[in-house]
Amino acid sequence: MSQVNMESVLCGYLQRHHTGRKNAASSKTLEAVFHVKGADIRKMVNTLRCAGIPVCSDTAGYYYAGTQEEVNMTIAQLNSRITKIANAKNGLLASTEMFRTPAIDIQINLFVKEG
């Protein structure tokens, strides 16, 4: 099956069997159903979300949104992750100071011999 078809199949599966947080499916369950790895599930979910499909997730697993509140909760979770990733990036940027060579003043005295 092509990646696009797998995303459509995943979307339909979540919509039919896992609408609402109370019906969430764990990543392990989806991996077993679709015979793919967790990274593949995450990639497909991301693609669906980018296309405007309301696929939500939390500690309960993945599910097709049943309410606006569920979408809002997933958006809040994503915003939190964005903040944590940005903080980690900023920390790494600050750490580059330790790799910079400190400026060294060098004095050169030239003596000219006459004759």
For residue range 10-57, what is the model confidence (pLDDT) as tens digits? 999 999 999 999 999 999 999 999 999 999 999 999 999 999 999 999
Query: Quick check: 1 pLDDT over 60?
Result: no
CB 62 within 8 A of CB 45: yes
Taking the C-alpha atoms of residue 20 and residue 14, their distance in angstroms, rounded to an integer, is 9
Query: Quick check: 110 pLDDT over 80?
Result: no
105 in any annotated domain: no
104 in any annotated domain: no
Taking the C-alpha atoms of residue 45 and residue 57, their distance in angstroms, rounded to an integer, is 9
67 in any annotated domain: yes
Query: Quick check: 108 pLDDT over 70?
Result: yes
Band (3; pLDDT cuts 50, 70, 90): very low
89 in any annotated domain: yes
57 in any annotated domain: yes
108 in any annotated domain: no
Number of domains in the chain: 1
109 in any annotated domain: no
Quick one: pLDDT at residue 115?
66
Bridge partners for 64 per DSSP: 19, 55
> Taking the C-alpha atoms of 46, 30, 40 and 81 in order, what is their torsion angle to the nearest 10 degrees?
40
CATH code at 60? Answer: 1.10.10.10
Q: Which pTM value belongs to this model? A: 0.79
Query: Quick check: 105 pLDDT over 70?
Result: yes
24 in any annotated domain: yes
Quick one: pLDDT at residue 58?
96
Q: Which domain holds residue 8?
A: 3-97
